[in-house]
Amino acid sequence: MKRVLSNILVAGSVLAGMAFGTAAFGAEAAAASAVPDAEKGAALYTKGDTSRGILACVACHGANGNSGVPMYPNLAGMPHEYIALQLEHFKAPADKVIRGTADGKPTAMAPIVAQMTKEDMQNLSVFLSKQQLTQPAKAKQGDNKKVVERGRQIWRAGIPERSVPACASCHGATGQGIPSAFPRLSGQHPEYLEAQLHAFADGYRQQGGAENMMGKIANRMNKADIQAVADYAAGIR
């Protein structure tokens, strides 16, 4: 299936002898300052930083990461490692687009994260990971037994004949994901999930590694499969 859709070790060395104490102290100070600050993350999320051209995240992703707009994902309670990684992906150089549009260009998120430092990203990510998803999205086709059953089948058992693994094997039986590895999908907007599966399938969203696992999986699913499992994932609890 191919269809077009519009729409992070610093290496270093220390001198031996008397210089060691100073270097060690400096390393400790750097490590301490690198601890993510959720309060700074909250300020950046709600107010942005106009002096650096960083827009407030709340405008699209809602209060405390609860998005009221289907095209923008819920971020509340998402693993901080996952959020930080996605921000890094959005900031990828133009010649190495990891998350782009159907025409191969960076997404609208690219200019928003362009001036963010890694510290900003870590602060934002930790803030969001501490929030509660108070407005989880629901399945839109919960009354359609055929769609629900197909979504459940793919979630629990995959599509063996097309080498599609069970979604639950990575995202968990109830869609809570595996912190630092796989995102929570439960309560995510079904429209967003569907769009991302198509983006994976068509190659303009990648995972940044040599093996684009999700791209291969999504590319083996047809439109109805994607719609069904996206809807099921949103409603699973």
Binding residues: 57, 60-61, 109, 167, 170-171, 214
Q: 181: which 2 tokens?
A: 């590895």
Distances, alpha carbon 105 to alpha carbons 66, 99, 237, in Å: 27, 9, 35
| Separation of first and last alpha carbons in the chain | 30
> Interior CA angle at 89 toward 79 and 118, to 5°?
70
Alpha-carbon torsion (128, 134, 135, 138), positive or negative: positive
Q: 227: which 2 tokens?
A: 């719609």
Q: 179: which 2 tokens?
A: 């912190």
What amino acid occupies position 159? I
Alpha-carbon torsion (57, 63, 66, 67), positive or negative: negative
Task: Provide the annotated binding site for heme c.
Answer: 57, 60-61, 109, 167, 170-171, 214
| Backbone dihedral angles phi then psi of residue 176, each to the nearest 5 degrees | -85, -10
Beta-carbon count within 10 A of 126 CB = 21
What amino acid occupies position 116? M
**Are residues 81 and 124 in contact, defined by beta-carbon separation less than 8 angstroms?**
no
**Are residues 167 and 155 in contact, defined by beta-carbon separation less than 8 angstroms?**
yes
